[in-house]
Amino acid sequence: MKVVGLVSGGKDSCYNLIQCVKNGHELVALLNLYPPIDSDGDELDSYMYQTVGHQALESYSKAMDLPLFRHPITGKPLVQEMNYEHSEENDEVEDLYRALKTIQEKIHFDAISVGAILSNYQRTRAENVCKRLGIKMLCYLWERDQLVLLKEMIDEGIEAIIIKVAAMGLNPHDHLGKTLAEMYPILLELNQKYGINVCGEGGEYETLTLDCPLFKNKLVIEDKEIIMHSEDAFAPVGYLKPLKVKVIPK
Report the C-alpha gap between 7 and 78 in whole angstroms: 23
Q: E strands along 36-106, which residues?
A: 68-72
Report the C-alpha gap between 214 and 193 in whole angstroms: 35
Residue 233 pLDDT class (50, 70, 90 cuts): confident
> Which pTM does this prediction carry?
0.95
With a CB cutoff of 8 Å and minimum separation 6, the contacts of 228 are 172, 236, 237, 238
Report the C-alpha gap between 99 and 3 in whole angstroms: 14
What are the beta bridge partners of residue 112? 4, 137
Q: What tens digit of pLDDT does each residue of 156-169 get?
A: 999 999 999 999 99
Reply yes or no on whether the pLDDT at 147 is more than 90. Answer: yes
Query: Looking at residue 211, what is its pLDDT?
Result: 98
Average pLDDT of span 91-117: 98
Average pLDDT of span 141-151: 97
Q: What tens digit of pLDDT does each residue of 173-229 get?
A: 999 999 999 999 999 999 999 999 999 999 999 999 999 999 999 999 999 999 998
Residue 40 pLDDT class (50, 70, 90 cuts): low
Residue 234 pLDDT class (50, 70, 90 cuts): confident
